[in-house]
Amino acid sequence: MRIKNLISLLTILFSFSTNAQDMAEYTSGWEGEMENSKLFNLKVEIRNLGFENASFKIFNNKSIIDYPFGSKSTSILEIPFAENHSFKGALSENGKEINGFIKSGMLLYHIKLTQSGNGTFIGVWNLLMVDGLKSLKFYLSVENGSGNNYEAYPILADNRFTGTWCANFQKKNDSISFVDFKTGLKFKGKLLSQKIQLGIYLGDGLVMQTDLKKSISDWRIGGFTTTINNGDLQLTEMESLILKDSLPNTHAVLISKKGSIIYENYFGGYNPQIPHDMRSASKSISSAIVGIAKDKSLFQNVDQSIFEFLPKDYHINKDSLKSKIDIKSLLTMSSGLDAVDFGIKRKSLASEDNYQPTQDWTKTILQAPMINEPNTHANYGSANPYLLGVAMDSIVAEPLEMFMDKNLFQKLGISNYIVQTDMTGRPYFGGGMYLTPRDMMKFGELYLNKGKLFGNQILSENWIQDSFKNYRVLENTNDKNGYGYLWWHYTYQYNGTSIKSKEARGAGGQYIFVLPKLEMVVVITSGNYRNRKTQQPESILEKYILPYIEN
């Protein structure tokens, strides 16, 4: 009996100690190391396509996912390989590749699987968006710990990965778990004395595990160098200023003239293989998708009301003024909705900050009041292109991302890219695509060449002309820029000459400059998100590039 009582007492004490762990004791910075730099460069394989024993596999140095799907269909593949994770793809006409998307978290990762044998297709999924980590250091910031409550944020020493958006923080006894809803990765940790054992999972499959100890020194993040320089143009003054951090956080500068690259350089560890977060610069790609749909006669004209494309449930918000919101007003930021993202003292009811935290973005936007009649005043706001995405999704016969891939990206030879989604899993037309700078340049070249590239008329010349017109001034911008179909207008001065530019622009300094007079495209990517240097690429173009260009 005494032994039984002793065991019961020990069990109670152990249970009390584990349940009573206070997360305040773990509120700190933690660090460990990854096994190798390629753990998140995952191999994706489809075997035995077209047979009952077909399988979908994901692995690094070990198996992570092995999902049998047994489909006899080889045209459209839909493979739900884990909870909240799926692959959707289409076999090419020649049967030699599969183009599709892995849906993981808020992202659609484009994957091209190439045939490597009878019924076998292989590709690579760079889950963290880089082609290999430059540091094996892994950091975890545990914050606001109290009792069972806490927050935890993984941080890589390689800051070329754009970071996690973690939520759903759970604790049970000595175990913690949370999710990055951006990439879809799950994190599970075991709380030990002076240590956290942390595993990172894709569904139920383990990607990697590491032991974390409390940090005793400052974290070292970034500081990488790059030695890629392509082209004959010399821009030594610009390069010197970038390397001295006088033009901070410049990641890439590319210049093409008459279709040939005359300058290409990368900084801070970036290289041609890394897709860059374009932020709102991808709004101009959204405009191209609308143009392709128009060219295919999927809708009649840009004067059609947005309510012609919306489910009946949303028509409750329709009134005599809102019914005038048409495709053209959304393309030109002149819907009249109270959807201004910046530049005014009050917070707009349909700004990104207001509609993105809600469960139904469309409903929130349409419930906002009108501040102007449509097509009269322009104010920049992401709700406008977001509604365009809802409209395009309603008229294409296939998933919108597949339509985009088949009709734009494949024709431009672009396969290494990522699409951010909204809450429904639909491509977010308000911004957030990831393209490599070289592919951003291809997109700029498409517009410079009036919709034609590689001998193909991908967009009609009429759509390009309409896109580049100056419809009205963006009233909430400091420079009072002119604006086209989701393309900015600006004029630069150098050597006594005025140069007009049509621009795709994104927060942090993501720019595609199309300069028709010079037959030139310039791409600059940056990381200036919180230091008020978003417009730094404009200064780089005017002061350190244009003076060195021969007309």
Nearest to 550 by CA among 158, 257, 267: 257
The answer to whether position 499 is within a domain reads no
The secondary element (H helix, E strand) that includes residue 131 is none
Residue 465, pLDDT above cutoff 80: yes
Euclidean distance between CA atoms 139 and 454, whole angstroms: 45
1-25 per-position pLDDT tens digit? 455 555 454 444 444 444 568 999 9
Give the up-direction half-sphere exposure of residue 510: CA atoms within 13 A in the CB hemisphere.
Answer: 25
The secondary element (H helix, E strand) that includes residue 208 is strand 205-214
3-state secondary structure of 311: coil
3-state secondary structure of 198: strand
Euclidean distance between CA atoms 16 and 466, whole angstroms: 70
Look at residue 9 in the predicted model and tell me its pLDDT: 46
Look at residue 16 in the predicted model and tell me its pLDDT: 42
Look at residue 75 in the predicted model and tell me its pLDDT: 75
Q: Provide the domain count of the chain.
A: 2
The secondary element (H helix, E strand) that includes residue 417 is none
67 and 179 fall within a common domain: yes
Question: In 343-496, where do the E strands start and end?
Answer: 418-420, 434-435, 452-453, 456-457, 472-473, 482-483, 488-494
Residue 495, pLDDT above cutoff 90: no
Which tokens hold the place of 371? 């501040």
Least confident of 156-160, 208-212, 547-551: 547-551
The answer to whether position 465 is within a domain reads yes
The mean per-residue pLDDT over the stretch 63-92 comes to 90
The mean per-residue pLDDT over the stretch 506-515 comes to 98
348-390 per-position pLDDT tens digit? 999 999 999 999 999 999 999 999 999 999 999 999 999 999 9
Given 486, 513, 532, the domain boundary residue is 486
Look at residue 74 in the predicted model and tell me its pLDDT: 67
> For the stretch 392-414, what's the b/e string if a residue is b when 16 or more beta carbons lie within 10 angstroms of its beta carbon?
bbeebeebbbbbbbebbbbbbeb
The mean per-residue pLDDT over the stretch 229-237 comes to 91
57 and 188 fall within a common domain: yes
Look at residue 277 in the predicted model and tell me its pLDDT: 98
Given 430, 451, 486, the domain boundary residue is 486
The answer to whether position 521 is within a domain reads no
200 and 101 fall within a common domain: yes
The answer to whether position 24 is within a domain reads no
3-state secondary structure of 400: helix
214 and 320 fall within a common domain: no
The answer to whether position 100 is within a domain reads yes
359 and 471 fall within a common domain: yes
Q: Are 533 and 248 in contact (CB under 8 A)?
A: yes
Q: Pairing between strand 520-526 and 175-180? A: unpaired
191 and 109 fall within a common domain: yes
Look at residue 3 in the predicted model and tell me its pLDDT: 52
The answer to whether position 198 is within a domain reads yes
3-state secondary structure of 324: helix
Domain that holds residue 429: 276-486
398-428 per-position pLDDT tens digit? 999 999 999 999 999 999 999 999 999 999 9
Look at residue 21 in the predicted model and tell me its pLDDT: 86
Q: Provide, rounded to the nearest whole percent, the portion of the chain with pLDDT above 70.
A: 96
327 and 422 fall within a common domain: yes
